[in-house]
A = this chain, B = another copy of it.
C-alpha cells in the first residue's frame, strides 16, 4: 500500500462513483485499469469495507435525532448482554461503550418523540440498565461524515513508520 492507494481511498470515501479516469488524473496515474486493479485489491484486503448509498432520511420525515446516555447495572458479562439488546433499538445508528460515569452513548433516528417513546419503554424494561438520559438534537451540523479525516496524512505517518 502506498500514497496512491491513500489518495484513491480519500476520493472514494467522498464519491465512490468517480470515474477511473478522473481518479487516475487526480492521482497522477493515467492508466484507468491500474486504478481499477488497486481498488479491487483494497476491497479484497477489506480496507474498503463496503460501498453504500447515503440516503437523506429527513426527506421521509425522520426528524427526531436523539443522543441517549446509558448507565448499565454492574454485573459479570452485562456489557455483552446489554450491548446485544441495545443494538435492537429502533432507529439505532451508533452504539459506543465509553469510559467515565456513562457507559454507553447511542445515537438514534426516529420519526418523532412519540416514536422514540417506544424506545424509552423498551430501555426501561431492560434489567441490565440502571439509568438512561436522552438528549434531543436541535441542530445536526455533521452526522457520520468521514471526509474530514485526512487519511493521506495519517496513512503517510503510518507508512513512513514501516
Contacts and interface: CB of A to CB of B under 8 A. Distances in A.
A54 B48 contact: yes
B131 A101 contact: yes
Given A76-B125, A98-B135, A139-B97, A54 B52 contact: yes
Given A61-B154, A97-B140, A105-B105, 10 more contacts: A9-B55, A51-B53, A52-B54, A66-B99, A78-B124, A87-B142, A96-B107, A98-B135, A109-B149, A144-B146
21 contacts: A12-B53, A12-B55, A16-B52, A45-B59, A48-B53, A48-B55, A49-B55, A57-B151, A60-B158, A65-B96, A66-B99, A72-B124, A75-B124, A86-B141, A93-B144, A93-B146, A94-B94, A95-B142, A100-B100, A100-B133, A117-B138
